[in-house]
Amino acid sequence: MSTVKLMFFANLRDKVGTKSVEIDIPEKMTVLELKQKLAREFPGLEPSLDTVVIAVNREFAFDETILMDQAEVALFPPVSGG
């Protein structure tokens, strides 16, 4: 098992009800698998998970990114405007 810190920003924070949480995940879990886990554990997030921007350890991450133990995972809603 690995532990990651999740940080939620903007309306995602409102949907989850907290700005951060630490969770246990299986070793070699991908960002896509994390999204699936979050949809189960935080049903209010599910509609947003297809469009969130995710950063792992302050670098943009993609669905195939493997999460390492003690990773810091930030979830941002899509930004629009100009």
10 falls within a domain: yes
> Is residue 34 in some structural domain?
yes
Number of domains in the chain: 1
pLDDT surpassing 90 at residue 79: no
What's the CA gap between 6 and 61, in Å, rounded? 14
| Position 21 in a domain | yes
Here the tokens at position 74 are 């930030």
**Any domain includes 59:** yes
Chain segment 63-72, per-residue pLDDT in tens: 999 999 999 9
Q: Is the pLDDT of residue 80 over 80?
A: no
Question: In whole numbers, what is the pLDDT of the chain averaged over residues?
Answer: 94
**Cα–Cα distance for residue pair 27/6, rounded to 1 Å:** 16
CATH of the domain at 56: 3.10.20.30
| 81 inside domain | no
How many whole angstroms separate alpha carbon 28 and alpha carbon 67? 6
pLDDT at 82 over 80: no
Q: In the prediction, which pLDDT does 56 show?
A: 98
pLDDT one-digit tens code per residue, 17-42: 999 999 999 999 999 999 999 999 99
pLDDT exceeds 70 at position 47: yes
Instruction: Give the domain extent around 30.
Output: 2-76
